[in-house]
Amino acid sequence: MNVDKAGATLAFAPGNALTLAQRDVTGLAAIWAEGGSAAVTGAGQAGLLDLGNGVFLPAESTPPATPAPEATPVPEATPAPEATPAPEPAPTPAPTATPRPTQRPAATPLPTPVPTADPAPPVHVTTPVEASVTEETATAALEESHLADTVRQALEAAARGGGTPAVTVQLQTQASARALEISLPAAALAPLAQAEGGVLTLDADLARITFDPAALSAVVKQAGEGLVLRVACRAAEELPGAQAAAAGGMPVYELTLHSGGETISHFAGGSVSVTLPYILEEGRSAGEVAVWHLAEDGAATRCESRYDEEARQVTFTPPHFSHYVIACGELGAAGSPETPALPARPADGQPVPRPAPALAALGLGALAGLVFLLCRRRGKRS
pLDDT means over runs of 10, the chain (382 residues):
46 52 52 56 59 62 54 60 62 61 61 61 93 94 96 96 95 89 96 96 96 96 93 92 91 95 90 95 91 94 94 95 92 48 42 38 40 46 46
Which sequence spans correspond to the domains of the chain? 2-59, 122-352+359-371
pTM of this structure: 0.59
Classified as helix, coil or strand, 114 is coil
Each residue of 228-242: b (16+ CB within 10 Å) or e? Answer: bbbbbbbbbebbeee
DSSP string, 176-237: --SEEEEEEEHHHHHHHHHSTT-EEEEE-SS-EEEE-HHHHHHHHHH--SEEEEEEEEE-GG
Query: Phi and psi dihedrals of 148, rounded to 5?
Result: -65, -40
Classified as helix, coil or strand, 282 is coil
Is the Cβ–Cβ distance between 168 and 126 less than 8 Å?
A: yes
Rounded Cα distance, 121 and 63, in Å: 136
Classified as helix, coil or strand, 32 is strand
Q: How long a stretch of residues is the chain?
A: 382
What are the angstrom distances between the C-alpha of 41 and each of 22, 65, 173?
A: 18, 17, 173
> What confidence score (pLDDT) does residue 381 get?
47
> What confidence score (pLDDT) does residue 305 get?
95
Rounded Cα distance, 219 and 203, in Å: 18
Q: In the beta sheet, which residues pair with residue 303?
A: 291
Rounded Cα distance, 121 and 150, in Å: 18
Q: What is the CA radius of gyration of the chain?
A: 67
Is the Cβ–Cβ distance between 281 and 304 less than 8 Å?
A: no
Residue 173 DSSP label: -
> What confidence score (pLDDT) does residue 147 get?
96
Measured in whole angstroms, the distance separating CA 353 from the mean position of its chain's CA atoms is: 53
> What confidence score (pLDDT) does residue 200 get?
97
